[in-house]
Amino acid sequence: MQRSARSIPGVPYQFSDSRLLQQALTHRSLDRKNNERLEFLGDSILNFVVSARLYELNPANDEGDLSRLRARVVRGETLAKIAAGIDLGRHLRLGEGELKSGGFKRKSILADALEAIYGAIYLDGGFGACAAVILHHCDAVIAALPEAQELKDPKTRLQEWLQGHGHALPRYTLLSEEGLEHKKRFRVRCSALETEVEVCGEGGSRQNAEQSAAKTALDLILEKYGK
Protein backbone atom coordinates (compact mmCIF):
# COMPACT_ATOMS: atom_id res chain seq x y z
CA MET A 1 0.00 0.00 0.00
CA GLN A 2 1.39 3.42 -0.92
CA ARG A 3 1.75 6.04 1.77
CA SER A 4 -0.81 8.28 0.06
CA ALA A 5 -3.56 5.64 -0.05
CA ARG A 6 -6.80 6.85 1.51
CA SER A 7 -8.76 3.60 1.46
CA ILE A 8 -8.36 -0.16 1.25
CA PRO A 9 -10.68 -2.73 -0.30
CA GLY A 10 -13.25 -4.12 2.06
CA VAL A 11 -13.44 -0.98 4.19
CA PRO A 12 -16.10 1.30 2.69
CA TYR A 13 -14.55 4.58 3.80
CA GLN A 14 -12.32 7.21 2.18
CA PHE A 15 -9.89 8.87 4.58
CA SER A 16 -9.34 12.60 4.47
CA ASP A 17 -6.09 12.15 6.38
CA SER A 18 -4.23 9.22 4.88
CA ARG A 19 -1.76 9.27 7.79
CA LEU A 20 -4.45 7.89 10.07
CA LEU A 21 -4.99 4.89 7.81
CA GLN A 22 -1.25 4.32 7.61
CA GLN A 23 -0.94 4.40 11.39
CA ALA A 24 -3.87 2.00 11.79
CA LEU A 25 -2.05 -0.49 9.59
CA THR A 26 1.31 -0.11 11.35
CA HIS A 27 2.26 -2.83 13.84
CA ARG A 28 4.45 -2.05 16.83
CA SER A 29 7.18 -4.25 15.39
CA LEU A 30 7.80 -1.62 12.70
CA ASP A 31 7.43 1.78 14.33
CA ARG A 32 6.91 3.45 17.69
CA LYS A 33 4.05 5.35 16.07
CA ASN A 34 1.91 2.28 15.65
CA ASN A 35 -1.75 1.28 15.85
CA GLU A 36 -2.03 0.39 19.55
CA ARG A 37 -3.71 3.64 20.67
CA LEU A 38 -6.08 3.52 17.70
CA GLU A 39 -6.88 -0.08 18.57
CA PHE A 40 -7.83 0.97 22.10
CA LEU A 41 -10.18 3.61 20.71
CA GLY A 42 -11.65 1.35 18.05
CA ASP A 43 -12.29 -1.44 20.54
CA SER A 44 -14.41 0.88 22.69
CA ILE A 45 -16.45 2.13 19.75
CA LEU A 46 -16.91 -1.39 18.40
CA ASN A 47 -18.30 -2.57 21.73
CA PHE A 48 -20.74 0.33 21.91
CA VAL A 49 -21.97 0.03 18.33
CA VAL A 50 -22.50 -3.73 18.61
CA SER A 51 -24.17 -3.30 22.01
CA ALA A 52 -26.60 -0.74 20.59
CA ARG A 53 -27.42 -2.97 17.62
CA LEU A 54 -28.05 -6.01 19.82
CA TYR A 55 -30.17 -3.92 22.21
CA GLU A 56 -32.29 -2.78 19.27
CA LEU A 57 -32.68 -6.24 17.73
CA ASN A 58 -33.28 -8.25 20.92
CA PRO A 59 -35.85 -6.49 23.11
CA ALA A 60 -36.65 -9.68 25.04
CA ASN A 61 -33.08 -10.49 26.08
CA ASP A 62 -31.71 -9.51 29.48
CA GLU A 63 -28.31 -8.01 30.25
CA GLY A 64 -26.62 -11.39 30.59
CA ASP A 65 -27.94 -12.61 27.24
CA LEU A 66 -26.91 -9.40 25.49
CA SER A 67 -23.42 -9.61 27.00
CA ARG A 68 -22.97 -13.16 25.73
CA LEU A 69 -24.17 -12.20 22.26
CA ARG A 70 -21.86 -9.20 22.16
CA ALA A 71 -18.89 -11.27 23.29
CA ARG A 72 -19.42 -13.62 20.35
CA VAL A 73 -19.38 -10.69 17.89
CA VAL A 74 -16.43 -8.68 19.26
CA ARG A 75 -14.12 -11.56 20.22
CA GLY A 76 -10.74 -11.73 18.52
CA GLU A 77 -11.60 -14.84 16.53
CA THR A 78 -14.58 -13.15 14.88
CA LEU A 79 -12.66 -9.95 14.13
CA ALA A 80 -9.80 -11.94 12.65
CA LYS A 81 -12.24 -13.70 10.31
CA ILE A 82 -13.65 -10.35 9.19
CA ALA A 83 -10.13 -9.03 8.64
CA ALA A 84 -9.10 -12.13 6.70
CA GLY A 85 -12.26 -11.85 4.61
CA ILE A 86 -11.23 -8.40 3.38
CA ASP A 87 -7.59 -9.49 2.95
CA LEU A 88 -6.44 -6.97 5.53
CA GLY A 89 -3.16 -8.77 6.13
CA ARG A 90 -1.93 -7.76 2.69
CA HIS A 91 -2.01 -4.09 3.73
CA LEU A 92 -0.36 -4.37 7.14
CA ARG A 93 2.95 -2.66 7.83
CA LEU A 94 5.03 -5.10 9.87
CA GLY A 95 8.60 -5.28 11.10
CA GLU A 96 11.01 -7.71 9.49
CA GLY A 97 10.64 -10.31 12.23
CA GLU A 98 6.83 -10.37 12.00
CA LEU A 99 7.00 -10.54 8.22
CA LYS A 100 9.28 -13.57 8.34
CA SER A 101 7.11 -15.32 10.93
CA GLY A 102 3.89 -14.76 8.98
CA GLY A 103 2.50 -12.00 11.19
CA PHE A 104 0.20 -10.82 8.41
CA LYS A 105 -1.81 -14.01 8.99
CA ARG A 106 -1.75 -13.96 12.80
CA LYS A 107 -5.26 -13.68 14.20
CA SER A 108 -4.37 -11.31 17.03
CA ILE A 109 -2.57 -8.90 14.68
CA LEU A 110 -5.45 -8.94 12.19
CA ALA A 111 -8.08 -8.34 14.89
CA ASP A 112 -6.08 -5.51 16.46
CA ALA A 113 -5.56 -3.83 13.09
CA LEU A 114 -9.26 -3.97 12.29
CA GLU A 115 -10.08 -2.27 15.60
CA ALA A 116 -7.38 0.29 14.89
CA ILE A 117 -9.02 1.08 11.55
CA TYR A 118 -12.31 1.70 13.35
CA GLY A 119 -10.51 4.08 15.68
CA ALA A 120 -8.88 5.88 12.77
CA ILE A 121 -12.20 6.27 10.96
CA TYR A 122 -13.73 7.77 14.11
CA LEU A 123 -10.96 10.37 14.34
CA ASP A 124 -11.10 11.12 10.62
CA GLY A 125 -14.83 11.12 9.94
CA GLY A 126 -16.70 10.98 13.23
CA PHE A 127 -18.89 8.47 15.01
CA GLY A 128 -21.51 8.04 12.29
CA ALA A 129 -18.95 7.09 9.66
CA CYS A 130 -17.25 4.68 12.05
CA ALA A 131 -20.52 3.04 13.10
CA ALA A 132 -21.52 2.55 9.46
CA VAL A 133 -18.31 0.66 8.70
CA ILE A 134 -18.59 -1.46 11.84
CA LEU A 135 -22.14 -2.48 11.00
CA HIS A 136 -21.13 -3.14 7.39
CA HIS A 137 -18.70 -5.71 8.78
CA CYS A 138 -20.71 -7.03 11.74
CA ASP A 139 -24.37 -7.09 10.71
CA ALA A 140 -23.98 -10.44 8.96
CA VAL A 141 -22.26 -11.85 12.06
CA ILE A 142 -25.07 -10.55 14.26
CA ALA A 143 -27.73 -12.02 11.97
CA ALA A 144 -26.06 -15.45 12.19
CA LEU A 145 -25.82 -15.53 15.99
CA PRO A 146 -27.42 -18.50 17.75
CA GLU A 147 -30.02 -18.03 20.45
CA ALA A 148 -28.54 -16.44 23.54
CA GLN A 149 -29.41 -19.53 25.58
CA GLU A 150 -27.08 -21.62 23.41
CA LEU A 151 -24.14 -19.37 24.29
CA LYS A 152 -24.35 -20.08 28.00
CA ASP A 153 -21.71 -22.44 29.33
CA PRO A 154 -22.87 -25.93 30.43
CA LYS A 155 -22.53 -25.20 34.17
CA THR A 156 -24.80 -22.17 33.87
CA ARG A 157 -27.38 -24.04 31.80
CA LEU A 158 -27.38 -27.01 34.18
CA GLN A 159 -27.81 -24.73 37.19
CA GLU A 160 -30.66 -22.82 35.54
CA TRP A 161 -32.46 -26.03 34.58
CA LEU A 162 -32.21 -27.43 38.10
CA GLN A 163 -33.31 -24.18 39.74
CA GLY A 164 -36.14 -23.79 37.26
CA HIS A 165 -37.46 -27.22 38.20
CA GLY A 166 -37.12 -26.72 41.94
CA HIS A 167 -34.06 -28.91 42.40
CA ALA A 168 -30.92 -28.35 44.45
CA LEU A 169 -27.78 -27.05 42.77
CA PRO A 170 -25.33 -29.61 41.37
CA ARG A 171 -22.30 -30.66 43.40
CA TYR A 172 -18.82 -30.88 41.85
CA THR A 173 -16.20 -33.10 43.49
CA LEU A 174 -12.56 -33.29 42.41
CA LEU A 175 -11.70 -36.97 41.99
CA SER A 176 -8.14 -36.77 40.72
CA GLU A 177 -5.41 -34.43 39.53
CA GLU A 178 -2.62 -36.08 37.55
CA GLY A 179 0.29 -35.25 35.29
CA LEU A 180 3.10 -32.71 35.10
CA GLU A 181 2.43 -29.10 36.07
CA HIS A 182 2.06 -27.93 32.46
CA LYS A 183 0.07 -31.00 31.33
CA LYS A 184 -2.25 -31.76 34.23
CA ARG A 185 -5.49 -33.70 33.78
CA PHE A 186 -8.37 -33.20 36.18
CA ARG A 187 -11.27 -35.58 36.79
CA VAL A 188 -14.42 -34.23 38.41
CA ARG A 189 -17.74 -35.78 39.46
CA CYS A 190 -20.96 -33.82 38.94
CA SER A 191 -23.94 -34.91 41.05
CA ALA A 192 -27.50 -33.73 40.53
CA LEU A 193 -28.98 -35.99 43.15
CA GLU A 194 -32.68 -35.16 42.81
CA THR A 195 -32.51 -36.13 39.14
CA GLU A 196 -30.53 -39.30 39.96
CA VAL A 197 -27.79 -38.17 37.59
CA GLU A 198 -24.13 -38.54 38.55
CA VAL A 199 -21.42 -38.28 35.91
CA CYS A 200 -17.71 -37.54 35.52
CA GLY A 201 -15.80 -35.15 33.32
CA GLU A 202 -12.15 -34.56 32.47
CA GLY A 203 -10.14 -31.55 31.35
CA GLY A 204 -6.86 -29.72 31.39
CA SER A 205 -8.10 -27.58 34.30
CA ARG A 206 -10.58 -28.13 37.08
CA GLN A 207 -12.91 -25.60 35.47
CA ASN A 208 -12.79 -27.39 32.12
CA ALA A 209 -13.43 -30.74 33.82
CA GLU A 210 -16.45 -29.29 35.62
CA GLN A 211 -17.80 -27.87 32.37
CA SER A 212 -17.37 -31.25 30.69
CA ALA A 213 -19.18 -33.03 33.51
CA ALA A 214 -21.96 -30.44 33.53
CA LYS A 215 -22.53 -30.87 29.79
CA THR A 216 -22.79 -34.64 30.14
CA ALA A 217 -25.16 -34.27 33.11
CA LEU A 218 -27.37 -31.77 31.30
CA ASP A 219 -27.55 -33.94 28.19
CA LEU A 220 -28.68 -36.89 30.30
CA ILE A 221 -31.23 -34.82 32.22
CA LEU A 222 -32.75 -33.36 29.06
CA GLU A 223 -32.91 -36.83 27.53
CA LYS A 224 -34.61 -38.15 30.67
CA TYR A 225 -36.93 -35.26 31.54
CA GLY A 226 -37.17 -33.16 28.37
CA LYS A 227 -36.80 -29.38 28.24
What is the structure's pLDDT at 224? 86
Exactly one of 39, 43, 98, 112 is catalytic; which is it? 43
The reply to whether 8 falls in a domain is: no
Number of domains comprising the chain: 2
Query: The CATH number of the domain where 165 resides is what?
Result: 3.30.160.20
The answer to whether residue 65 is catalytic is: no
Same domain, 128 and 170: no
What is the structure's pLDDT at 220? 93
Nearest Cα to Cα of residue 188 among 166, 216, 169: 216
Same domain, 135 and 71: yes
The reply to whether 128 falls in a domain is: yes
DSSP secondary structure letters along 105-121: G-HHHHHHHHHHHHHHH
Same domain, 63 and 175: no
What is the structure's pLDDT at 1? 44
The answer to whether residue 96 is catalytic is: no
| Structural domain ending residue among the three candidates 146, 181, 200 | 146
Exactly one of 39, 98, 112, 115 is catalytic; which is it? 115
The reply to whether 6 falls in a domain is: no
What is the structure's pLDDT at 71? 94
Residue 76 in this model has a pLDDT that exceeds 90:
yes
Average pLDDT of the segment spanning 80-98 = 95
Residue 2 in this model has a pLDDT that exceeds 80:
no
Average pLDDT of the segment spanning 46-57 = 98
Same domain, 95 and 205: no
